[in-house]
């Protein structure tokens, strides 16, 4: 049972355009959401997070949107850069539990 789903295995975007990565979840106990970026043969690095009391969080070129009623979150990267090419994982956790559940990941390729 996949509680966190990233239904797009890959996304290709032109440099300078917007990248939108999507994530859906099924567990209503999740109330904290994170995005990680991962390069091949390396560990994931934290990118941005959002708690369920918010619907938007921005950090530079990265913005995460949360739609609790739809159990959906998205990561927007504007403008996209070739260095953003990586695998992006969304993750979720109930705050008081502390165990991250990850999605399958989306491979983002930004073309120059």
Partner 1 sequence: DGGITQSPKYLFRKEGQNVTLSCEQNLNHDAMYWYRQDPGQGLRLIYYSQIVNDFQKGDIAEGYSVSREKKESFPLTVTSAQKNPTAFYLCASSITGRIGDTEAFFGQGTRLTVV
Stretch that binds partner 1, among 13-21, 60-68, 75-83, 102-110 (CB under 8 A): 102-110
**Cβ closest to partner 1, residue 62 vs residue 79:** 62
Strands 72-77 and 86-93: unpaired
Look-up of token digits 């938007």: 56
Residue 61 Cβ vs partner 1, minimum distance, rounded to whole Å: 18
Stretch that binds partner 1, among 1-9, 13-21, 57-65, 74-82 (CB under 8 A): 1-9
């Amino acid at each position: 049972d996949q509680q966190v789903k990233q239904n797009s295995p890959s996304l290709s975007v032109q440099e300078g355009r917007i990248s939108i990565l999507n994530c859906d979840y099924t567990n209503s106990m999740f109330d904290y959401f994170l995005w990680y970026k991962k390069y091949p043969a390396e560990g994931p690095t934290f990118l941005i997070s959002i708690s369920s009391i918010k619907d938007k969080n921005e950090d530079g070129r990265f913005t995460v949107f949360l739609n609790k009623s739809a159990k959906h979150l998205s990561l927007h990267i504007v403008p996209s850069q070739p260095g953003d090419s990586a695998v992006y994982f969304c993750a979720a956790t109930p705050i008081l539990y502390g165990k991250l559940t990850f999605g399958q990941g989306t491979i983002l390729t930004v073309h120059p």
